[in-house]
Structure 1
Amino acid sequence: MSSAIDFDQLVQAVGDAIVISDAQGAITLWNPAAERMFGFTRAEALGNSLDLIIPERQRQRHWDGYQKTMDTGITRYGNDVLRVPAVHKDGRTLSIAFTVALLHTADNKVAAIVAVIRDETSRFVEERSLRKRLAELEAKLASSNQPA
């Protein structure tokens, strides 16, 4: 028994954002999870630059890495998770984690990059709060252990 997978249905149903951008960085796929995560509708995102969701201070670094991946066809983020800030439509900062996959042309040139993205903002905020609390407790302990 053969079961064909409806990949469009998969992309629409999955809980993580799936964003595909072409060789120039224009968004060519934006699933419902991306809409929920970033606040931009599919119509607002398609055809626009990834700058839509990249904080201004991160853009140069992003585009340098993007161009290197396009030129070399190599990315370490196929397996390694990349954690970076992103921007929601309303201007608030998000903390996202994602992996990427490269889509190739028939002659094996990179045609597009697929990013599978998860919003880790609440986890990031919680970890930062815990680190701050730990530092405060360590400082308190160190000061209470000082000889009088």
Structure 2
Amino acid sequence: MALSLQHFLSVIGDAVVIADANGIITTWNCAAEAMFGYAQSEATGASLDIIIPEKYRMRHAAGFEQTMNTGKNRYGTSLLHVPAMKRDGSSISIAFSIALVLGEAGKPESIIAIIRDETQRFQEERALRKRLAELGNGE
């Protein structure tokens, strides 16, 4: 059974964002549209900065550049948990994994991120930690 990439991207529940070596979005699926609020036509060709909160952009840019220059991702296969930003400026908590796509010379040509909105889970965990702390203080 052959499954086209386009069909896969349209049916997967997670956001899939692919960016080139310069951090320019080349692929943005419908789950990314729903999660971040940008239509595919708006996101494709834009910088990844559209979903990165401003206070994290410099750190992200440095890590992204190092990954693209070395071909090594310091996080390996770990699931990353970071804040992100929606089109309306609101903040969400995301978890994602990445994979590098290497070119013929073995140098990264693009990066693929599979992203899930973890905002509700993060808020529930925060509330639970707060309640546990309150209980630990005799309240």
- Shorter-chain TM range is over 0.9
* Structure 2 unaligned spans of 5+: none
* Structure 1 unaligned spans of 5+: 142-148
- CA deviation map 1:84-133 (0-9, x unaligned): 00001111110000000001111111000000000000000000011011
The whole-number CA distance in structure 1 between the counterparts of 2:48 and 2:102 is: 19
Please list every run of at least 4 consecutive aligned residues from structure 1 whose deviation after the TM superposition is greater than 4 angstroms.
Answer: none
Shift of 1:12: 1.3
What is aligned with 1:33?
31
Shift of 1:78: 4.5
What is aligned with 2:103?
105
Q: Say whether residues 1:89 and 2:87 are aligned partners.
A: yes
TM-score by length of 1: 0.91
| Counterpart pick for 2:136 among 105, 128, 138 | 138
The whole-number CA distance in structure 1 between the counterparts of 2:43 and 2:84 is: 14
TM-score by length of 2: 0.96
Aligned-residue RMSD, C-alpha? 1.0
The whole-number CA distance in structure 2 between the counterparts of 1:114 and 1:12 is: 15
Q: Map residues 53-92 of structure 1 onto 2, 5 A cutoff.
A: 53-92=51-90
How many residues are paired up?
139
State, as a whole percentage, how many aligned pairs show the same letter: 53
Q: What secondary structure does 2:92 align onto?
A: strand
Q: What secondary structure does 2:3 align onto?
A: coil
